[in-house]
Amino acid sequence: MRLALLTLALAAAAFAGAAFAADRYIVVQSTTSTQNSGLLDYLLPIFTAKTGIEVRVVAVGTGQAIKNAANGDGDVLLVHAKAAEEKFVAEGFGVKRFDLMYNDFVIVGPPADPAGVEGSTDVVAALQKIAETSAPFASRADDSGTHKAEMKLWKEAGIDPTAASGGWYRETGSGMGQTLNTGIGMGAYVLTDRATWVAFGNKGDYGIAVEGDARLFNQYGVILVNKDKLANVKADLGQAFVDWLISKEGQDAIAGFEVEGQQLFFPNAKGE
Amino acid sequence: MQDFGAAFWLAGELLVSGDETLAEIVVLSLKINAGAVALASAIGMPLGAILAVARFPGRQALVVLVNSLMGLPPVVVGLVVYLMLSNAGPLGVLQLLYTPTAMIVAQTVLVTPIVAALTRQVIEDMDAEYSEQLDSLAVGRLARIGTLLYDARASLVTAVLAGFGRSVAEVGAVIIVGGNINHVTRVMTTAIALETSKGNLALALALGFVLLTIAIVVNGAVGGLRLAMVRDAHA
Amino acid sequence: MLERPITRHGAVSALLPLVVEDLVFEAGGRRLIDGIDLTLEAGRRSVILGPNGSGKSLFLRLIHGLIPPTSGRIAWNGRPPGREVRLSQAMVFQQPVLLRRSVAANIDYALAAHGFDKAARRARTEQMLIEAGLEHLARQPARRLSGGEQQRLALARALAVEPDVLLLDEPTSSLDPHATLRIEMLIARAAQEGVRIVLVTHDIGQARRFADEVVFLHRGRIAEHAPAEVFFDEPGSEAARSFLAGELVL
């Protein structure tokens, strides 16, 4: 059976190829904004060059990242949903949560500005206007950090947008980039983190409509997953990464990351 | 659509320039697909042949099941394999999550029903032709399956190609179990998904063209092999 | 390896006599073989003759054990047809079923199925190719041969395994006279070497050339079973007389 031998040989080759990985690596469960903006591609080589520790990033929504980490499928969690992060630590999955950096959310919209919110610095008022005029709004609706922040803002505005789901309120159930692609395609307003927006390559004729409200603050935290609870965690290597991120060197590196001349993340770790 | 033109040029540039990152992604894609298709063939072909030749109660139900599994949603397969390989799952000790091996496993689950179902059809037709002759030669059950698989080799290439087509185009399963980790588990389809989510539509499309080119090359090469087999084997 | 009742070239075959008792085969509510009783002794060439649809092919398949009868008994020297018995038999079909491999590989395959070891297979394959006049085509894909060559290969494959009994189902019905002659010569030589021949045909001329005895089938029954000279000179049944006279036998 030459055919069988050939297939077996191919399988063996594939498996041999699969086993190339180095031992000194950690898995970071993180959010799409840190990857899509290019921040991690910028930071990680600096850290790896210094420590020899390879960092493998799984970039998903914050909700999924937290679940994956709670399953023990990550050593470090780097996300942006403070309440959920604190719960993660309180339940014993995380060792300790550190503030890492922040940026802010913005609402982007079409030049026609059907809700008349352009230039607004009051995000709650802007959301109310969008709801009143039934202007299309695309939501990620994926339990991500951005989605959680969006729902908090709607609550402050006293509106339950999900009642209009399928009408002017469009729940895409997908990641930031996909929601931007979809929202821009349908002329909808979208709440996005600034970093993803600035680095986004398919802006069309969209621009930032609402920004500068203190309530649009977007805090990122970093947590070492708890080895006592999840035995597979590479605690030493993970700790080294967390320590570096919140050290002066790491914080300076975050501040040094720019896209098109714009600083996208602002380090604010308090140190130890 | 200016994206198309731009994407076309970009694809050409990427291919000509021999971009290292792209080469890495392409090589990993081919390894994972080859591994998955090889495993799926090793499992699916005997399985399909047994379904074609053997007569046992529940056989028809099993045939329906295998045919239905061809339509398995990749995301569901990805999720199931993730839950198995996760550190919280039963196979977590193997430490395979977020590795190319995990991707091969998921792809194998996706491709095996395709290979098995197509093999069953091919072998059933061939058995109709060969059955009495093989009975007359007093060929045993196991040897009969081997004979049918070997003599159907030219037709089975099509089953393998169908499996390759499924695996090479699939993103839903591999992105969940592989994690789309740069330099580790990033393949053509997950890279395309990533660039799309970054809004880099031209680059995403260019990668799509590269993927298509690879598929054409593989299909062409295998198709040539098949022709040679047909020349050797058939009237 | 299986124990083979090797008696080739011997006077007595371990497989004979073939005794068939009250054999019935029904399909789709129709009785296609309708109570056949027959005994075939060793050392003769039997021709099963009859018009199309008389059940000749079915009868051959039944005694070879390829299909199970609806009722009745078949015994090769006391043994029912099955894998064991088939290891001492070979059958050539009307349309040869050749494997999608080379000419030589087709013969080698049959030998391997019958448990011949590698060296024996090589020698025997070469011998059979020469006997069948196919040695120059040994490496050719079997399915690319002409119709006559394909049937010669099927016959060579059948004889390669040294069967005691060779069953032939209209082996030359789709061949031209030249190809037919070469097939008949191969069959005749095998018969001379002691292979028990059972040939199904509707070709009267072929029956005359081959038969020591004739079994004439009509509508699933034996209309006549007689030595060849008796059958051809003084057929005892109406159906056989009509058939030999070239009339349409319904």
CB interface of B with A, residues 74-113, below 8 Å: 86-89, 92, 95, 97-101, 104
Q: Considering only CB atoms, which chain C residues are within 8 Å of B153?
A: 100
Give B230's pLDDT tier (boundaries 50, 70, 90). Answer: confident
Q: What is the mean pLDDT of residues C62-67?
A: 96
* pLDDT surpassing 50 at residue A17: no
What is the structure's pLDDT at C14? 83
CA atoms A73, A50, B194, A200: torsion sign: positive
Alpha-carbon gap, residue B228 to A10, rounded angstroms? 20
What is the structure's pLDDT at B14? 82
B3 φ, ψ to 5°?
A: -60, -35
Residue that is written with structure tokens 């994690």 in the block = B179
How many other C-beta atoms are found inside a 10 Å radius of the C-beta of residue A259? Answer: 15
* pLDDT surpassing 90 at residue B2: no
* pLDDT surpassing 50 at residue A115: yes
CB B28 within 8 A of CB A13: no
Instruction: Tell me the per-residue pLDDT of C113-124, one tens digit each, with 9 for 90 and over.
Output: 999 999 999 999
Sequence-separated (6 or more) residues with CB below 8 Å from residue A222: A76, A77, A78, A97, A98, A100, A242, A245, A246
C212 φ, ψ to 5°?
A: -90, -35
Minimal CA separation from B234 to chain C, in Å? 5
Q: What is the mean pLDDT of residues B20-30?
A: 92
Copy the structure tokens of residue C67: 């299909």
Beta-bridge mates of residue C2: none
What is the structure's pLDDT at B234? 57
Q: What is the mean pLDDT of residues C223-230?
A: 94
* pLDDT surpassing 60 at residue A18: no
Copy the structure tokens of residue A182: 């979809």
CB of A91 within 8 Å of a chain B CB? The answer is no
Q: Where are the domains of chain B?
A: 2-234
CB of B38 within 8 Å of a chain A CB? The answer is yes
Sequence-separated (6 or more) residues with CB below 8 Å from residue A192: A105, A106, A107, A108, A146, A176, A179, A180, A200
Task: Tell me if A2-103+219-267 shares its fold with A104-216.
Answer: yes
Alpha-carbon gap, residue C65 to B136, rounded angstroms? 8
* pLDDT surpassing 60 at residue A114: yes
* pLDDT surpassing 90 at residue B18: no
What angle is formed at CA C97 by the lines to CA A1 and CA C91, rounded to 5 degrees? 110
* pLDDT surpassing 90 at residue C221: yes
Burial class (CB within 10 angstroms; exposed 0-12, middle 13-18, buried 19+) of A236: exposed
What is the structure's pLDDT at A10? 52
> Cis omega before residue C177 (within 30°)?
no
From B129, B153, B234, residue closest to C97, measured CB to CB = B129
3-class secondary structure, A152: helix
Minimal CA separation from B93 to chain A, in Å? 9
pTM over 0.80: yes
Run of H or E residues at A97: strand A94-109
CB A91 within 8 A of CB A230: no
Give B235's pLDDT tier (boundaries 50, 70, 90). Answer: very low
Q: Where are the domains of chain A?
A: 2-103+219-267, 104-216
Sequence-separated (6 or more) residues with CB below 8 Å from residue C49: C56, C201, C202, C204, C207, C211, C214, C215, C216, C217, C243
Alpha-carbon gap, residue B29 to B117, rounded angstroms? 25
Burial class (CB within 10 angstroms; exposed 0-12, middle 13-18, buried 19+) of B137: buried
Instruction: Tell me the per-residue pLDDT of A194-218, one tens digit each, with 9 for 90 and over.
Output: 999 999 999 999 999 999 999 999 9
CB A129 within 8 A of CB A160: no
Q: What is the mean pLDDT of residues A82-107?
A: 96
Q: Considering only CB atoms, which chain A residues are within 8 Å of B151?
A: none
3-class secondary structure, A191: strand
Give B33's pLDDT tier (boundaries 50, 70, 90). Answer: very high
Alpha-carbon gap, residue A135 to A164, rounded angstroms? 11
CB of B133 within 8 Å of a chain C CB? The answer is yes
What does pLDDT average to over chain B?
Answer: 92
What does pLDDT average to over chain A?
Answer: 91
Question: Is the CATH number of domain B2-234 3.40.50.720?
Answer: no
Instruction: Tell me the per-residue pLDDT of B89-114, one tens digit each, with 9 for 90 and over.
Output: 999 989 999 999 999 999 999 999 99
Mark yes or no for CB contact B132/C66 under 8 Å: yes
CB C175 within 8 A of CB C145: no
Q: Give partners of B (≥3 CB pairs < 8 A).
A: A, C
CB of B87 within 8 Å of a chain C CB? The answer is no
Quickly name the fold that domain A2-103+219-267 has. Answer: D-Maltodextrin-Binding Protein; domain 2 (3.40.190)
Alpha-carbon gap, residue C17 to C37, rounded angstroms? 13
In eight-state DSSP terms, residue A207 is: E
What is the structure's pLDDT at B20? 87
Give B8's pLDDT tier (boundaries 50, 70, 90). Answer: confident
Copy the structure tokens of residue C18: 């073939």
Mark yes or no for CB contact A18/B200 under 8 Å: no
Alpha-carbon gap, residue C47 to C171, rounded angstroms? 12
What is the structure's pLDDT at A11? 52
Instruction: Tell me the per-residue pLDDT of B125-167, one tens digit each, with 9 for 90 and over.
Output: 999 999 999 999 999 889 999 999 999 999 999 999 999 999 9
Alpha-carbon gap, residue B112 to B66, rounded angstroms? 9
What is the structure's pLDDT at C9? 39
Q: Which CATH number applies to A104-216?
A: 3.40.190.10
Instruction: Tell me the per-residue pLDDT of C4-57, one tens digit each, with 9 for 90 and over.
Output: 444 443 434 589 899 999 999 999 999 999 999 999 999 889 999 999 889 999
Alpha-carbon gap, residue A175 to A183, rounded angstroms? 12
Calculate the alpha carbon distances from A128 to A124, A147, A201, B12, B100 in Å: 6, 17, 29, 48, 48
What is the structure's pLDDT at B226? 87
